[in-house]
Amino acid sequence: MLNQLSAENSVRLRAFFDEAGYTESNLRKHLGAAELPSSQLRNRPRLFDRTSAATQLNTLLRWFWIGSAQDAQQIAGLIPDDFLALLLESGLLAAEAGMLAPRAMLLHFDGFLVASDHPTAIENKQAEMVLWPNPTSKFLSRFAVSRHSRATLDLGTGSGILSLMASRFSDAVVATDLNPRAVECARFNARLNGIDNIEVFGGDCFAPVAGRCFDLILSNPPFFITPQTDYMFCDNPMDLDGLCRRLVKEGPAHLNEGGYMQMLCEWAQIKGQPWEERVAEWLQGTGCDAWVMKGLTQNPEEYAQHRIRETSQDTSEDAANYELYMSYYRRRQVEAIHDGLFVMRRRTGQNFVRIEEVPPTPSGNLGEMVLSTFAAHDVLRENNTDEKLLALSPRLADHVRLEQVCFASDSQWKAETLNLRLTSGFAFHVTVQPLVAEFLISLDGTRTAETAIRDFAAKANAPVEKVLIECISMVRKLIERGFIAGV
């Protein structure tokens, strides 16, 4: 698909796109919305209209955004000859029958210019298409633990986007993919962006990195739970969610002590089994602490409809496809399909496993949030008795807000509830009594929990032993949730 250019020519090519105005902000301005061309969205006429003037930028947009071949004579003179030669040499363009046709899409992600296949590849049912940077890649990259890593693995690299992102904080990145086209594409993108600490290998799961260990493993694997494997980039090739289970089981052997593995996942819920149980089994005996954040839950019917709409354009196949999907789920007694993020940290000792549903649309620095959540569990483990916890000097976290909900009564606002809410990370909240809110604001990190609780009991005129027991259990929960830092 794509040919490696020399490092020098790659840098020239990248600079040419920037100079021609093929930049993220310009694209949005120029196209109205940086929406990918799609038959479902029926946006091609609008995109063609926005790019109708014969300019250099429009020529590039028609090739590398809309995915349309253009008459070589009509665009003559718009693209400098030396760059046209580079576009052809790299394989981004191909000349055929007087036309110049794009062989990749180019889009921006986090400051990188990234080549991938075009969305029309799904319409053309190309099983080995290489996925473009998309909301799932962005989601995982936001959560990535982006502290210094000696070695990072990006398993199922696709366009290489997560590797590019990780190259900024890693000494070395290894990117792997089963799809040879993805291997080529990831190598091409590393070079196009002038990155030289990424190695790319082809192969199945961890086979290309046998015997190697990493500080960070990132994976956005093909997790769709589908009866067929039409597309390598999205369809879980094993029964139900088998590939994700396999990665959870095999990943820890490739983590250094203290190293993190972060993986997006979908898993099935089988009739009669609580949703947490299936993934709890995956995590058993891995030698890792784990935090599973469950997001969306869909029933099989809506899931099937959604997936069919995403991966098949031919509506005449809808009924047969739906039947295929539903009989697959019915035979396996699938009651629901959940999506979420797995974070595992290899640690010798007794491990914790936290599996929970999380609020949508997290905000702030999510990599930091992951680290502070694991650190909070460490504090609780190291201070696993009431005596030890009472000796800590806890402090209310900076990103906690107190919200009061009132109701109208007799022309007056009456307090109904008080909620503590996190304003960064997941918007967890807890309802508290006014007295408790007062106690929590007194936790400023200068006094031990014991002193703060004893003062509070005296102020509230309450029996100190009882208050100690209740407060310490609350402090423990609030440290775990990130409302209080245990110092």
Ligand X SMILES: C[S@@+](CC[C@H](N)C(=O)[O-])C[C@H]1O[C@@H](n2cnc3c(N)ncnc32)[C@H](O)[C@@H]1O
Residue number, 16 or 132, with CB nearest to ligand X? 132
Least Cα distance to 379 among 221, 485, 468, 273 occurs for 485
Residue 11 CB-density burial (10 A; 0-12 exposed, 13-18 middle, 19+ buried): middle
CB of 217 to ligand X, least distance (A): 12
CB of 127 to ligand X, least distance (A): 10
Residue number, 128 or 368, with CB nearest to ligand X? 128
Residue number, 30 or 103, with CB nearest to ligand X? 103
Residue number, 125 or 459, with CB nearest to ligand X? 125
CB of 371 to ligand X, least distance (A): 21
CB of 93 to ligand X, least distance (A): 23
- Determine the Cα–Cα distance for residues 202 and 187; give it in Å rounded to an integer: 11
Least Cα distance to 134 among 166, 98, 159, 167 occurs for 159
Residue number, 170 or 351, with CB nearest to ligand X? 170
80 phi/psi in degrees, rounded to 5: -55, 145
CB of 308 to ligand X, least distance (A): 18
Residue number, 308 or 397, with CB nearest to ligand X? 308
CB of 172 to ligand X, least distance (A): 18
Least Cα distance to 209 among 177, 231, 238 occurs for 177
CB of 224 to ligand X, least distance (A): 9
Do strands 484-485 and 395-396 pair parallel, antiparallel, or not at all (unpaired)? antiparallel
DSSP label at 415?
E
Q: Can you give the binding site for ligand X, defined by CB under 6 A?
A: 131, 133, 136-137, 155-159, 161-162, 176-179, 182, 204-205, 220-222, 232-234
- Determine the Cα–Cα distance for residues 382 and 24; give it in Å rounded to an integer: 47
Q: How many CB atoms lie under 10 A from the CB of residue 448?
A: 14
Q: With b meaning 16 or more CB within 10 Å and e meaning fewer, what string describes 26-60?
A: bbeebbeeeebbeeeeebeeebeebbeeeebbbbb
Phi-psi region of 355 (alpha: psi -120 to 50; beta: other; left: phi over 0): beta
CB of 413 to ligand X, least distance (A): 48
Residue number, 139 or 352, with CB nearest to ligand X? 139
- Determine the Cα–Cα distance for residues 100 and 108; give it in Å rounded to an integer: 22
Residue number, 32 or 180, with CB nearest to ligand X? 180
